[in-house]
Amino acid sequence: MPITKSAKKAMNRSQKLEARNKDFKIKMKMAMKKFTKSIEKGESVTLEQLSHIFKRIDKCLKVGILKPRNAARKKARMSKMFHAAQSK
């Protein structure tokens, strides 16, 4: 346990940031999973759904949860799946 006042504040801040980051990451992963499941089922997907996923990925990138190349890779994979589903 932290002893000094600044260490206690740092611990509180760390816990708050961890909770916030986890929330962003979970929302991003759930949006991606929902999108992929709907494509696998053969349901129609819209451009709004894809832009919603991009929004989630960009927010995680902005906050610092994802690195730039990781975010770009996720966006590329999602758009590739979207275009493959549209061509069917």
Per-residue pLDDT tens digits for 4-17: 999 999 999 999 99
Mean pLDDT of the chain: 95
Contacts of 21 (CB under 8 A, 6+ apart): 63, 65
Range of the domain at 13: 5-87
Q: What distance in Å separates the CA atoms of residue 15 and residue 17, rounded to the nearest whole number?
A: 5
Q: pLDDT band at residue 1, thresholds of 50, 70 and 90? A: confident
Over range 40-45, report the average pLDDT: 91
Per-residue pLDDT tens digits for 60-75: 999 999 999 999 999 9
Q: pLDDT band at residue 87, thresholds of 50, 70 and 90? A: confident
Check which CATH number belongs to the domain holding 9 and give it: 1.20.58.110
Indicate the pTM of the whole model: 0.87
Domain count, the chain: 1
